[in-house]
A and B are shown apart, each in its own frame.
With several copies, the nearest count.
Chain A
Amino acid sequence: MIKVYKRPLNKEEIEREWFATLTENRNGAFVSFTGIIKEEHKIEGLSFDIHEPMLKKWFNVWDSYTKDNNSKLFMAHSKGDVMLGEISFMCAVASPKRRFALETMDTLVEDFKANAPIWKYDLKNGERAFALARSHKIDGSGLLA
């Protein structure tokens, strides 16, 4: 399950929704990652653009992989502005095996940072500036150069 919100994420509400899908077959381990906008570079917040169809394609590969392992994957991301202390990203793996849940969360979050089609902007002095220095070229970049 992946969902893009036009506002900061409400962690309790979203995790309650995710947990509700586990009632029939409660898994043993639930590992979650929450991304909170932290103070850095004197920003007031961050802003995100998302290409949703390609984000869904990216997600579906991981979703199939977790399903094949008897597990469930959940993700939520904000688009637009998210201010300091607010939550922009949540993701969780529910699995009968804690090793699978922990390892999948680790590799998934790194792949997400490196390849998910989301662009991050600093909000500072009323401006929205692309955070190029903290962004990552997608694998295969430069093909047309």
Chain B
Amino acid sequence: MVQVEFLGPIGLKPIEADVANLKELSQLLKKKKEVKAWLENCAVAVNDEITKDIEKELKSGDKVTLLPPVCGG
């Protein structure tokens, strides 16, 4: 199982997902109404490293993080 975290203003609790890569996770998250609207705006990190690779493999214990738009300072 992969743990999925939603940071900052998304305001959702972490979920566990049984997916083998980010593409499968994308398909899963698009089915969740409260997450779908955020997907366009969010960057994705696997184990705290931002990734741009939708094919990225996930293994059990991996942590995927959704990062909405930021503004520090």
Contacts and interface: CB of A to CB of B under 8 A. Distances in A.
9 contacts: A53-B48, A57-B49, A113-B72, A119-B7, A121-B9, A134-B71, A141-B40, A143-B52, A144-B66
Interface of B: 7-9, 22, 25-26, 29-30, 39-45, 48-52, 54, 65-73
Nearest to A109: B73
Interface of A: 35, 48-51, 53-54, 57, 77, 88-89, 98, 109, 112-121, 130-132, 134-145
A49 B5 CA distance: 14
Of all A-B residue pairs in the complex, the 3 with the closest CB atoms, nearest first, are A119-B8, A118-B72, A135-B69
A49 B8 contact: yes
A79 B30 CA distance: 31
Q: Is the interface of B mostly helix, strand, loop or mixed?
A: mixed
A85 to B, nearest CB: 15
A141 B65 CA distance: 12
A136 B71 contact: yes
**Interface-central residue, A48, A50, A117, A142, by most chain B CB under 10 Å:** A117
Given A141-B40, A144-B44, A118 B9 contact: no
